[in-house]
Homo-oligomer: A and B are copies of this chain.
Amino acid sequence: MAVYTDITDEDLQTLLAGFDLGLPLSLKGVAEGVENSNFLLETETGRYFLTIYEKRVRAEDLPFFLDLLTWLSDHGFPSAAPVADRWGQVLQSVRGKPAAIVTFLPGLSVRRPSVSQCRQAGEGLARLHLAVGGFPGRRQNDLGHQAWSPMFARLEADAEALKPGLAATLRKDLEKLDSSWPQDLPTGIIHADFFPDNVFFRGDQFAGAIDFYFACFDALAYDVAIALNAWCFEADGSFNITSARAMLAGYEQHRPLSPAERAALPILAHGAAMRFFLTRLADWGATPAGALVRPKDPLEYERKLAIHREATDLVLFGAPE
């Protein structure tokens, strides 16, 4: 939950004066997203989301994110579309912070995805990868595989404190990831955070994706690996092969994986687990006790790391056993 910036009726009037959206009818701070302040805004012309970008999103990245959302909605992918003001500008300022109004995207996220929802999510991710083809924007993946060893160097003591012996294990993981990270896979703009809470359904049908604030240029199959980790583990920590096969089948219905992409899935999933383990460990250590937002438990991804460390072949991802 997150509303870091408070908006008065006067702030709202000032902002809306630049738009052709009619009078404001309702504004509700929404407990969604840990990165930004979000408000559900209703005006005489419809419903919108007003986002105020807090410090975790770099201001220089905002044109990329907003252009990407515009591109996606122009290319038939269900996502929130930025709304331009009378002068064609999307990026706004509220209380001295960057802000944007986007269209409201209806849909419900699911907590424990069913196999059929995993399949739908796979379809949605492939649709995203196809829709984004040709988008000219570029943003480097700050949290890509080259970043993991430097991140780990800063977090080594925290990792060891979390679980004795873990630092040495992670060091070996990183050596392996460094030496065998796949090159030359098909690239494009990836969502990079395609977790169940960022994916909307209507009933059991994929209805869109939100929260593109980690989107970046990287291997498309790495996005698939992130999603497999996020969707196909059970609450008890086991990997659900049926869900994984369903997700891949859904994905391949729209965008078949190349043999090289499929062969790379185990190492990509191992790396994806490392990326989320490291950022969660960093957030865990950096959060004062009693803080507003409780960080996610890094141990969840430590267990996923362990599973990918052991299962290096394709069995997890649907190869014949």
Which A residues have a C-beta under 8 Å from some C-beta of B? Answer: 1, 3, 8-10, 12, 23-32, 40, 42, 106-112, 202-203, 288-292
Contacts and interface: CB of A to CB of B under 8 A. Distances in A.
Nearest to A44: B202
A40 B106 CA distance: 12
Contacts of A8: 111-112
A13 B29 CA distance: 24
Nearest to A12: B108
A215 B38 CA distance: 31
Given A111-B8, A202-B25, A106 B42 contact: yes
Contact of A1 (B3, B12, B203): B3
Contact of A26 (B26, B107, B111, B291): B107
Contacts of A1: 1, 3, 29, 31
Nearest to A203: B23
A40 B42 contact: no
Contacts of A12: 108
13 contacts: A10-B112, A12-B108, A23-B202, A24-B108, A25-B107, A25-B108, A25-B202, A26-B107, A28-B40, A30-B31, A289-B290, A290-B290, A292-B292
Counting from the closest, the 5 A-B pairs by CB-CB distance are A29-B31, A8-B111, A290-B290, A3-B31, A26-B106
Given A25-B202, A26-B107, 19 more contacts: A1-B29, A8-B111, A9-B108, A9-B110, A10-B111, A24-B108, A25-B107, A27-B108, A28-B30, A28-B31, A28-B32, A28-B40, A29-B30, A30-B30, A31-B31, A40-B40, A288-B290, A290-B291, A292-B292
